[in-house]
Amino acid sequence: MNMKKLSIMLACIGAWSAVTAQTLPEGTPAQTNIPEADYPCVDASSRATFRLDAPEARNVQVDICGKKWPMTKNPDGVWSVTTDPLVVGFHYYFLLVDGVAVNDPASETFFGCGKMASGIEIPESPEAAAYYTYDQSVPHGQVRECHYYSSIEQKERRCFVYTPANYETDASRRYPVLYLQHGMGEDERGWSRQGKMADILDNQIAAGKCVPMIVVMDYGNCGYIHGARPGESREEFGASFTPILLEDIIPYIDKTFRTLTDRDNRAMAGLSWGGHQTFQTTLAHLDKFAYIGAFSGAIFLPPEADMRKVYNGVFADADAFNRKVHTLFIGMGSEENMGSRELSEKLSAIGIKNTYYESPGTHHEWLTWRRCLNEFLPLIFKSDK
């Protein structure tokens, strides 16, 4: 066979594969699949179809965030199921094979739920997803994997650092820094993978919605589920992160990258337990942070709490607090119950300026936190603050 005929044959095979990948009877292959995997796939009604070749298995289910769908086996030993419509956004899931939770070999894996998990993205409309979708027409920053030594833990640690597109081309410019934290059972990879933060930053910077900034994503020492360490109290869980941030991470970032090092150019935000850590850290160190964000923050204030006395009285003098904190952002999904709205209202009632955002139709999930980040970014590091 000559090379011309071979090229034509390969082109036809490629075209046939591309067509079949998009015309599966159950929908379109999920964005989160490994290369060339047709399943899981998602249809126009946001239903997902899963398949697993396991002829020796006796019982197989799909477990998506605790809801289970039994799968059925065909004569060839392939198990399959189509779910009910799923909420748009990112979902962790597992396959339960004869009672054992395993990852789907056809899915990419993500660190969540305190372990490596399969993940599936249920797509929004292109218009709704545009803010976190890669846009080839805009300049793109970089997400770097960095390793440093912690003097507190006396060992190597890892963080991921986003630098904006013009960081490499303008060596004279320095940048403000956002420290962005993950939640319980997740790690420093979450925001760049599940959260799509780089695309959100790239698109906002290109549109002039937010200022170019450096974003640091570190491990919050809460990558396991609380209760896994016997005797560890809720107050102790993840609390070791604050001194590491202040004494190890910030000095490393300021030494390694071209940062603006004053408090007016430093922000911190986090999702869920990362929101808890953000409040614990920033409210005790307002000399170092001027912008604060809690996305579905696990704040844990009792209903009868006097807001002027919590966090060592940081809210007692509203005028003083408002002069120091340029942005206090509190957000959550409309379908979750994290008490964020009540917290915002109580703070407003004593004169503490804050911005409340509610993501419509979302739960305690990454789509909520993508939306919160998208709302938070335009509010920080503005020259008119």
Collapsing DSSP to helix, strand or coil, 298 comes out as coil
Mean pLDDT of 17-23: 44
Q: Is the pLDDT of residue 157 over 80?
A: yes
Cα–Cα distance for residue pair 340/331, rounded to 1 Å: 6
Please name the helix (run of DSSP H) or strand (run of DSSP E) that holds residue 324, with its range, or none. helix 318-324
Average pLDDT, rounded, for the chain = 92
Region 93-102 average pLDDT: 97
Please state, in angstroms and rounded to a whole number, the distance separating the CA atoms of residues 285 and 238: 17
- Residue 385: how many CA atoms within 13 Å on its side-chain side? 20
Over residues 267-283, the pLDDT tens digits come to 999 999 999 999 999 99
pLDDT at position 152 is: 97
Q: What is the dihedral of CA 221, 222, 224, 225, to 10 degrees?
A: 160
Instruction: In whole angstroms, give the CA distance from residue 11 to residue 5.
Output: 10
Distance CA 270, CA 278 (A): 6
Instruction: Determine what percent of the chain is predicted with pLDDT higher than 90.
Output: 90
CB-side neighbour CA atoms (13 Å) of 297:
31
Beta bridge partners, 177, equal 214, 266
Q: 32-86: per-residue pLDDT in tens?
A: 999 999 999 999 999 999 999 999 999 999 999 899 999 999 999 999 999 999 9
Q: What are phi and psi of 208, to 5 degrees?
A: 75, 20
What single string gives the DSSP state of each residue in 64-75? ETTEEEE-EE-T
- Token output for 7: 């090229």
Confidence of residue 17 (pLDDT cuts 50, 70, 90): very low
Q: Is 321 helix (H, G, I), strand (E, B) or coil?
A: helix
Q: Which pTM was predicted? A: 0.91
Measured between alpha carbons, how far is 207 from 74 in angstroms, rounded to an integer? 51
Tokens of 12: 């036809």
Closest-CA residue to 145 (of 178, 192, 113, 92): 192
Q: Which domains does the chain have, with CATH numbers?
A: 25-122 (2.60.40.10), 130-379 (3.40.50.1820)
Structure tokens at 362: 């979302």
Q: Which residues contact 153 (CB under 8 A, 6 or more apart)?
A: 240, 244, 248
Is the pLDDT score of 26 beyond 60? yes
Cα separation, 5 vs 253, in Å, equals 56
- Rounded Cα distance between 86 and 123, Å, is 10
Residue 20 confidence (pLDDT)? 39
In tens, the pLDDT along 196-230 reads 999 999 999 999 999 999 999 999 999 999 999 99
Q: Are 315 and 347 in contact (CB under 8 A)?
A: yes
DSSP letter assigned to residue 63: E
- Greater confidence (300 vs 286) lies with 286
CB atoms within 10 A of CB 6: 10
CA distance 91 to 367: 9
What would the two tokens of residue 249 be?
A: 């991470």
- What does the alpha-carbon distance between residue 67 and residue 365 come to, in Å, rounded to a whole number? 15
Q: Are 159 and 241 in contact (CB under 8 A)?
A: no
Query: What pLDDT is attached to residue 24?
Result: 82
Rounded Cα distance between 337 and 363, Å, is 9
Residue 333: the pLDDT is 96
Specify the pLDDT at position 22: 53
